[in-house]
Structure 1
Amino acid sequence: MAADLERSSSNKADVCQAENVKDAANVSEKYGETMERFAHLDEKKILRKLDLRIIPMLTLLYLLSYLDRGNIGNAKIEGLDVDLGLTPDQYNWCLTVFFFSYSAFEVPSNMVLKKLRPSVWLPCIMVAWGTVMTLMGLVKDYHGLLVARIFLGVTEAGLFPGVAFYLTMWYCRHEMQLRQALFFAAASVAGAFSGLLAFGIAKMDGVGGLAGWRWIFILEGIATVICAVFAFWGLYDYPETASFLSDDEREFVIYRLRYQGGMVGASSEDVETRVPEDQEFKWVYARQAFGGFQVWIMIIAYWAVVCPIFGISLSLPTIIRDLGYQRQTAQLMTVPIYIVASIFGVVIAYFSDRVKLRSPFSIGCLTLTVVGLTMCLASTNRHVLYAALFLAAMGMYAASSGVITWLAVNLSGSCKRSIGMAIQISVGNLGGAMASNFYRAKDAPRYILGHSLSLGFVIAGILSMVSLLVTYNVINRKRERALREGKRAEYSEEQLSFLGDKAITWRYMY
């Protein structure tokens, strides 16, 4: 009896496994036949088209965004705090309130982005924050500056999460980080431009009866509004409507996104996993995003990037000045730090995409930040401290695109991914509110408290990513075992599509 039951069970398993093999073969054959329709297309050429038409405009938008939120640090050493009679605590509050309003409006903005065209929504919010930035140059006191910073946060909130999501609608999982890094490199380039522009614009001190720091806000705000007008025509919405692609190219881009698991070296199980890129907004997908375990773990990893970035970048001119350099020299000395960080971030992203791994590069970059911050705490030599700022900036800016990308490629379904990324960036940016108070004037010139707090967040981020890596590995192994046991047959295509990254055919990227 026992032998018969065992033999019967074995036969059922064999039949089920045979059916799975047959299904996988049929899917692979269908996939191969479909790909033959695109054999005349050059995938690399199409990618170059996408890069040339999409990345430059997005990079410009984010450069201006980062420039406008961070130029208050440059304005401070040009006399903003003195002219407005700000105490150190009042100045820190002006930095902090930006992140409260900025974080509060990021998720709603991405919800609106799912309903409106990106070529309309993104330029509109850009015009709004450019106007606020310009008017900030006319504030008369602490309360005026505080209110202006609140509205700057409201109007800028939608850009970063919107663009980060927008890129996932054009590029596959294994191509994402390089494009995110090129876009995010604008942040480090903005830091370089900020010092150079502040150095030049400050020479307008007295023109029109206005102080030099006021002209920093006014001119950079006007530049943002002008660029926003061009962005109405310079941004493309989605591949389905991209006028710079032929009909076949549009169809190919859409197809490779939907079946991206099977595009490069994927198994037959991956091929049959379709990514629901055409999701309409539904509250059920929002609930899925809010309930995603990886979203909340990656918030800690994002804090590891945000806290040192905003803590240091908002105070970098002051930190360098407090090392014993002249005011204008300090402005210029910020430039090479940001340029080196920008180049390093793009190089890291290139190799991350090439080997199709996210976590090792992000963890490695954060480790470099640990080294830089530790040097800042351990040394009193200003040359060593300046070198340490290079290492810290290289690590944190290079890790930023990896942290964003690693979550994006592990959320399936465009609506869930849009909201999940906005949650990560929104809650993560509250770290900026904390970090804006890390580097206090009374702690100069060593800034022991600021460096220590930044270091603590970076270490916590490393630990969170290691734990998520282990979790992904366990889940992937369980799903592979479930497929071998024939459980794929228990789900319809519609069920797998609805489950997204929770489907047994989905594989998390490391």
Structure 2
Amino acid sequence: MIHKRVLVVMVITYFAQTLDKGTINFASIMGIREDAHLVGQQYAWLTTCVYIAILIWEFPTNRLIQRLPIAKYLGLNIMAWGAVLACTAACTSFTGLIIVRTFLGIFECVCQPAFVFLATMWYTREEQALVIGAFYSMNGFQQCVGGLIAYGIAQIEHAKLKNWQILFTLLGCITFVWGLFVLWWLPDSPMRAKCWSKQDRFLMAERVRKNETGIQNREFKKYQAIEAILDPTVWAVVLVSFTNALPTGGLGAFSNLILTAFGFSQLQTYLLAIAQGAIIMLFLFSAAYLSKRYRQKLILAFLYTLPNIAGTVVFLCVETSAKTKVGLLIAFYCTQGFGAVAVLNLAIMSNNVAGVRIQIFESNTFTYGRRLQRTKQVIASSLVFIAWAVGNAIGPQVFRANDAPRYIKAFVAHIVVYGIQLAAIVFLRVRLMRLNALKCRAQFLSTSEENVNSIRQ
């Protein structure tokens, strides 16, 4: 029942967002660089500007998500970015492309923070990793579908519009219509879902009460904002978000150019994108499944970083030739584990930035309390997605035009970033294990004190 109204919207919307944002990658070998007279780093800036816009608008959109009906706000943003995407087809210069790509970033940045809020609002903690994994897996599925669409459009010849213009117009119009549907279909919260009975709405709200994150609290609390800023757990998650996003941003913008540099043709590159998407989905779903089964998200995040390192090492050590292109392709597929780490990191944030607070006093006594900390979650969510945006913005810029086609300097930077990511994951695990031990001790002492009081009475 919830899946039909909420999860379906999250999955399809995220699919549309990743596909629409990634169209520039498919268009890169359709002639957009030549038609728009792009030179030097200008193509890289078409991706970077999207994430700079996200960086600027991330916190305001989080505040608006907190204060406005989330379904209506999401639907309107979807319609807006669909319209902007369709307008990209009319751009024939770097200036025009920069403008529409910047607006695309502003409207698209609602998705991830909105979906984390929807996950905590509608689903239990145990379900959240699978839910986040479901919509995040669209990073892979959009590669499959995008590759097929691009392959089909590439067959069109002698049309009035260029192939890349047809791609932007088609996807933009479809997205706009989907935004209208979301406005009508998605409920704002369990208690406002008039599509269900009052009893069903009450049961849905009760089901997620144990999350200790609330349904939707619109009050901004300054002390919770300070708490989030001073919390090392939040900053560790933020760092992982950044280190995971930087390689993603570069590979997402340059993957088709990298594959063609290996020696594959334009049409072969589109078809190889389908296999790339399937591998991304395999990483994502396996991470979500293993996370639910073993409940060891940080260990899994560490393990899923290792294939990225292995693939990058191959890029650095093996030269491009007809004999090595298959091996390089396999290495490229190994670097697609970033999606699994992102899902696990989002689940760690949603599970650990909640309403539990432990206070430790000099007398070595503990108090254990439950309270709703929606403001803290808003700040943490903003910081995580800002880090994600910064990483994705920097990512394309490490791929320098004068370093093509192997981009050795870019892959050296990736190795350094992966090392930092592994260190952050280890720190986060040690810290959370300590906090869990303190929490258990506080609960035990609190229960013991209550038992003593009841005996005295």
State the TM-score, normalizing by the size of structure 1: 0.79
CA contact (8 A) 1:301 1:464 kept: yes
Given candidates 241, 251, 263, the residue that maps to 2:202 is: 251
1:436-451 equivalences under 5 Å are 436-451=396-411
> Aligned partners of 1:55, 1:484: CA distance in 2, in Å?
37
Amino acid at match of 1:426: I
Superposition deviation, residue 245 in structure 1: 4.5
Post-superposition offset of 1:438 = 2.4
Match of 1:313 in 2: 252
Q: Secondary structure at the match of 1:259?
A: helix
Q: Distance in 1 between matches of 2:374 and 2:248?
A: 28
Tell me which moved more, 305-314 or 72-81: 305-314
Letter in 2 for 1:257: V
Q: Deviations over 1:157-194 (max 9, x none)?
A: 11221112211111111211111010001111112222
2:234 equivalent among 289, 295, 298: 295
Task: Supply the distance in 2 between the matched residues of 1:277 and 1:121 (Cα, whole angstroms).
Answer: 17
Partner of residue 141, structure 2:
189
After superposition, the CA RMSD in angstroms is 2.1
What does residue 364 of structure 1 align with? 303
Q: 1:99 to 1:489 in 2, by over 3 A?
A: farther
Structure 1 residue matching 2:53: 3-state secondary structure: helix
2:378 & 2:204 partners in 1: Cα distance?
19
Cα deviations by residue, 1:81-133 (Å, 9 ceiling, x for unpaired): 11111102111222211111112112211211112112200010111111111
1:418 maps to: 378
Q: How many residues align?
A: 427
Is the deviation greater in 399-408 or in 86-95? Answer: 86-95
- From 342, 350, 355, the equivalent of 1:400 is 342
Question: Contact 1:202/1:216 (CA < 8 Å) preserved in 2?
Answer: no
The match for 2:116 is 164
Measured against aligned partners, the alpha-carbon deviations of 1:7-55 in whole angstroms (never above 9, x if no partner) come to xxxxxxxxxxxxxxxxxxxxxxxxxxxxxxxxxxxxxxxxxx3223322
What is the percentage of aligned positions where both structures have the same residue? 24
Moved over 6 A (4+): 487-490
> Which of residues 280, 286, 309 in structure 1 aligns to 2:218?
280
Moved more, 283-292 or 328-337: 283-292
- Asked whether the equivalents of residues 121 and 216 of structure 2 are also in contact (C-alpha less than 8 Å), the reply is no
Q: Do 1:165 and 1:421's aligned partners in 2 also have CA atoms closer than 8 Å?
A: no
Query: In the alignment, which residue of structure 1 is the partner of 2:285?
Result: 346
Q: Specify the alignment match of 2:42 in structure 1.
A: 90
Aligned to 2:59: 107
- What amino acid is aligned across from residue 139 of structure 1 in structure 2? C
Change (3 A) 1:486 1:397: closer
Alignment pair present for 1:474 and 2:434: yes
**Corresponding position of 1:55:** 7
**TM-fit CA distance, 1:486:** 4.8
Look up the match of 2:22.
70
| Separation (CA, whole Å) in 2 of partners of 1:129 and 1:403 | 27
432-441 or 399-408: bigger deviation = 432-441
Q: Which sections of structure 2, spanning at least 5 residues, go unmatched?
A: 355-372, 451-457
Deviation at 1:321, TM superposition (A): 0.5
Q: Tell me the equivalent position of 1:431.
A: 391
The alpha carbon displacement at 1:230 in A equals 1.0
Q: Is the 8 A contact 2:219 2:375 kept in 1?
A: yes
Name 2:370's counterpart in structure 1.
Answer: none
- The answer on 1:214 being equivalent to 2:165 is yes
Give the drift of 1:308.
2.1
- What is the DSSP-based 3-state SS (H/G/I as helix, E as strand, rest coil) of the residue aligned with 2:282? helix
Q: Which amino acid counterpart does residue 11 of structure 2 have in structure 1?
A: T
What CA distance in whole angstroms lies between the structure 2 residues aligned with 1:280 and 1:150? 28
1:203 alignment partner in structure 2: 155
Deviation, structure 1 residue 456: 1.9
Aligned partner of 2:191 in structure 1 is 240
Between the aligned partners of 2:70 and 2:96, the Cα distance in structure 1 is 32
Residue 436 of structure 1 aligns to a residue whose secondary structure is: helix
Task: Write the letter of the residue equivalent to 1:96.
Answer: T
Inter-CA distance 379–244: structure 2 relative to 1 (3 Å threshold): farther
Of 72, 85, 91, the residue aligned with 1:120 is: 72
Distance 2:139 2:284 in 1: 11
In 1, distance between residues paired with 2:419 and 2:158? 46
User: CA separation in 1, counterparts of 2:108 and 2:395?
Assistant: 19
The residue number in structure 2 matching 1:389 is 332
* CA displacement 1:452-478 (0-9 Å, x = unmatched): 222222221111011011112222323
User: 2-side partners of 1:443 and 1:247: how far apart?
Assistant: 62
In 2, Cα distance between the equivalents of 1:362 and 1:441? 32
Partner AA of 1:398 in structure 2: A
